Chain A
Amino acid sequence: MGMEGIGARVARKEDKRFLTGKGRYTDDMVVPGMKFAAFVRSPHAHAKINGIDIEAARAMPGVIDVLEGRQLQADGIGNLICGWMIHSKDGTPMKMGAWRPLAIDIVRYVGDAVAIVVADSAGEARDAAEAVVVDYEELPAVTSAVAALQPGAPQIHPEAPGNLIFDWQIGDPAATDAAIAQAAHVTEIEILNNRLSPNPMEPRATLGIYDAAEDHFTCYTTSQNPHVARLVMSAFYNVAPENKLRVIAPDVGGGFGSKIYIYPEEIVCLWASKKTGVPVKWTSDRTEAFLTDAHGRDHVSKVKMAFDKDHRIIGLKVDTIANLGAYMSLFSSAVPTYLYATLLSGQYDIPAIHANVRTVYTTTVPVDAYRGAGRPEATYLLERTMEVAARELGLSPAELRRKNFIRSFPHQTPVIMNYDAGDYDASLNAALAAADWDGFAARRAEAESRGMKRGIGMSCYIEACGIAPSQAVGSLGAGVGLWESAEVRVNAVGTIEVLTGSHSHGQGHETTFAQLIADRLGVPIASVNIVHGDTDKVQMGMGTYGSRSGAVGMSAIVKALDKVEMKAKKIAAHLMEADESDIVIENGDVKVAGTDKSLPWFQVALAAYTAHNLPSGMEPGLKETAFYDPSNFTFPAGCYIAEVEIDPETGKTEIVQFVAADDFGNIINPLIVEGQVHGGLAQGIGQALLEEVRYDEQNGQLLTASYMDYAMPRADDLPSFTLSHQNTPCPGNPLGIKGCGEAGAIGSPPALINAITDAIGINHLHMPATPLKVWSALQDGQMRQAAE
């Protein structure tokens, strides 16, 4: 692998600028003449707008202009859309209500934008925003998806009667019902997947710059996929044609899904820049982030899992209601359908599965992908059900899982996915050993002697990454292809720039992508620059989410490198008068195999650009482009074990150990992969123990709109983690990698709830398992015991 090649534990190249305060995030950008925006937002969850009076605000100090939705509409700016078409089981298309960048007649969640104020300073813009008088006529709110489906619930969009967006299904209902009817045992459970706020530490921000001389727009924005932002703003929102719109996502401070989407603010700031003639910057504060960043999860599901007399799963039936909020965000429809129900087979050989999913409008902020997107919901549901089933059947959790593992590959599940490779026993065994599962009984007894309740729980997850084969997702309703592009530019002095459509917002691409080049060409990673995040530099790309940057983004680089190598070999063969097939590239030299003939890499590069002596007919230069479209998803899988100790006096859970055994296929940089797992685990543990978005059900006010009210995991909430990696290389891409970005968030919540319910001796507890909830469950248990 070499010191800096594939598999090497290289410290990150990009760290220095972040560590010295030289990172360049969107809010750090300053351009001449720049002014500041504040949005006027609805204080009501649902209301009719009878009028907007901007006159007083316009007269405020420093105010340049106040702009409203009607002007935006008159200028032909389009509505926001959901880019993934889902059809209901009756064949009708999903019922998408209009989402205007600035609301005109109705607001549908607290935080819905109504107007924009542009002023000399951010403070003056805020002052003026407070002086805008909106005449609201309040309408009833509904925040839960189950309530929104009830007869008589407030109607949110005229396009979606009864608030139902679609009623979709996957799998074979008849076969599944038959399996349940003939089962030796059926485990039934109701699962709630709590609503979360992604909370990247950098709040969203955007800077819109209109250049009248060129009739050209530049948008700096906190985006995970600037090219998709340009495409959508140009093709659907009519902001500007693509050749007149440059989108730059500079350093981005985390995303976790929430920065995939195009939000109203980017569109409105670009438009406002043209209207006012000044560059317009808007930076979200944290409360605005809670109010307006797309939330994640929020599912309610009923599950039936059927077993035969040998404890094999013969059928799984799932009925899910998913809350999509007030408007359909960009990929919202895909999350509770193709990113969720297609993973309901888990690591298990299940002959019959049927899932029904209803998605629902509510008067809450839109819900879309958050770390894992659908796969955490599937894993939580399955692994909680497996745990309860094991308890009901009197088996150990490991034994029940082993009885049902898929062991031959490829494996076609009944819900579309075709698993290509895996070894689920390997991860389970590694996790059991690392956690000393067999020694748990003694540890529990010791804890009991101290008056503490100790529990242990596992979860065996699978997910689908490397998103995604374009033709497949197209046939399922996606509005875009999910390939990736790469360009490898070798400079005349031999240094290299790699242009990629992937986008790094913490994942470390500047290091891992350079390691690939070092591995192939033997050049130091210091001589390689990774260029990303600017539509003027990189022609096109699909961005970073769904752990696709390695499996898809790096595969595109491999393809471009293949072409670069081929041309370099041709040049070297010509210069050294050797046969092209004898040329090898090693340690930064281009050699004739079996001889002492050799050229340093830079000389071959220089020869390509001087073009004094190239093979006849060859074009000068050394630069190649490739697009890579994956042939399948990749399937990372693993086993997580949580061990907890609960203080029965307070209900507080302490995680005494957390073990993660993951199979990500081949690994480029173990240091970075471990970091991805740690971060995912923290978010999954946050979901299980701490985090929950809560709205007031009566009036639709967001109750958890700051870090005082929404419990983010902090350093003293978490343990250090014990990690290991198993490896069944992915056969579907040239590097054999599967992706590691979401695993931690997917596998950890059920492991924790399984451990907590084990500790307190009940079958189920809804997340987050706060001290109050755990303590109350313990009291209920004691009261039940006393009554019996």
Chain B
Amino acid sequence: MTKVTLTVNGRAMSGECDDRTLLVHFIREKLGLTGTHVGCDTTQCGACVVHLDGRSVKSCSILAVQAAGSTVTTIEGIAGQGELHPVQAAFNTHHGLQCGFCTPGMVMTAVDMIARHGGDLDEHTVRHELDGNICRCTGYHNIVKAVLAANEEMQGAARQAAE
């Protein structure tokens, strides 16, 4: 067993785990943050996407011990208590989720995508960048719509802030 300490959603957290424990299992089982999901075992589905030191990462593809000392943001940490991040709000408005299982990973991927592409996001790019996140319910139609709408809103807010 190894003690792993991380900064998760702004708070220092630690737990004991086997060396073989994946980051996703550490987050779910040791930290009790069950919003990050496991949908496959081959790093394909993206239900486990978190932000690790500011980059979106499939948390099933890295060991907890490898992430020691890092800063992790999970779905529970992207908005203030009782609030929704603009991407979360857009998923609600545009019905970008049904069963909700892939949703945390989708949202985390979308937040990162918008941060990287800024104003240049179009449908083709969104679909291409969502390639690593599988959804079985929505047919992606409304997810794509929600990501584009959130991007639009966040660019608008950024422009306003700049003016």
Contacts and interface: CB of A to CB of B under 8 A. Distances in A.
A752 B47 CA distance: 29
Contact of B98 (A507, A715, A721, A744): A507
A712 interface: yes
Given A11-B95, A15-B97, A675-B95, A201 B135 contact: yes
B75 A21 contact: yes
A28 interface: yes
A23 interface: yes
B123 A18 contact: no
Given A15-B91, A675-B142, A707-B45, A28 B34 contact: yes
A201 B36 contact: no
Nearest to B107: A19
A18 B100 contact: yes
A749 to B, nearest CB: 14
Contact of A715 (B44, B47, B92, B143): B143
Interface in A661-695: 671-672, 674-675, 678-683
Given A12-B95, A253-B99, A286-B39, A679 B76 contact: no
Contacts of A19: 75, 84, 88, 91-92, 97, 100, 103, 107
Interface string B128-159: 10110111111111111100000000000000
Given A254-B136, A706-B41, A715-B130, A201 B99 contact: yes
Contacts of A201: 37, 39, 45, 47, 99, 101-102, 134-137
A508 B98 contact: yes
Contact of A682 (B34, B47, B103, B140): B140
Contacts of B74: 21
B117 interface: no
B44 A202 contact: no
A251 interface: yes
B93 interface: yes
A721 B95 contact: no
A23 B144 contact: no
B41 A23 contact: no
Contact of A681 (B84, B92, B135, B139): B139
A21 B34 contact: yes
Given A19-B107, A20-B35, A715 B144 contact: yes
Nearest to A124: B18
Quick one: which of B32, B84, B130, B136 has the most chain A CB within 10 A? B136
A252 B99 CA distance: 7
Interface residues of A, number: 59
A507 B103 CA distance: 15
A674 B40 contact: no
Given A251-B100, A720-B123, A11 B92 contact: yes
Contact of B136 (A25, A199, A708): A199
Interface string B100-135: 111110010000000000000001001110110111
A671 B100 contact: no
Contact of B84 (A16, A671, A718): A16
- Dominant SS at the A interface? loop
Contacts of A680: 139
A543 interface: no
Contact of B97 (A18, A203, A681): A18
A612 interface: no
Nearest to B40: A286
Interface in B14-73: 18, 20-21, 28, 32-42, 44-45, 47
B130 A286 contact: no
Contact of B99 (A20, A505, A683, A708): A505
Contact of A23 (B35, B107, B138, B145): B35
A422 B40 CA distance: 42
B131 A715 contact: yes
A123 interface: yes
A707 B43 CA distance: 9
Nearest to A716: B127
Nearest to A9: B95
Quick one: which of B99, B140, B144 has the most chain A CB within 10 A? B99
A287 B144 CA distance: 28
Contacts of B127: 715-716, 718
B13 interface: no
Interface string A503-543: 00111100000000000000000000000000000000000
A205 B99 CA distance: 15
A506 B137 contact: yes
A285 interface: yes
A116 B154 CA distance: 51
Nearest to A28: B34
9 contacts: A19-B75, A19-B92, A20-B84, A121-B18, A201-B102, A254-B136, A256-B136, A285-B40, A712-B136
Given A20-B88, A25-B101, A201-B136, 6 more contacts: A28-B28, A201-B137, A286-B42, A672-B95, A713-B139, A714-B134
Closest 5 interchain pairs by CB? A21-B35, A18-B100, A253-B101, A682-B139, A506-B99
Interface of B: 18, 20-21, 28, 32-42, 44-45, 47, 74-76, 79, 84, 88, 91-93, 95, 97-104, 107, 123, 126-128, 130-131, 133-145
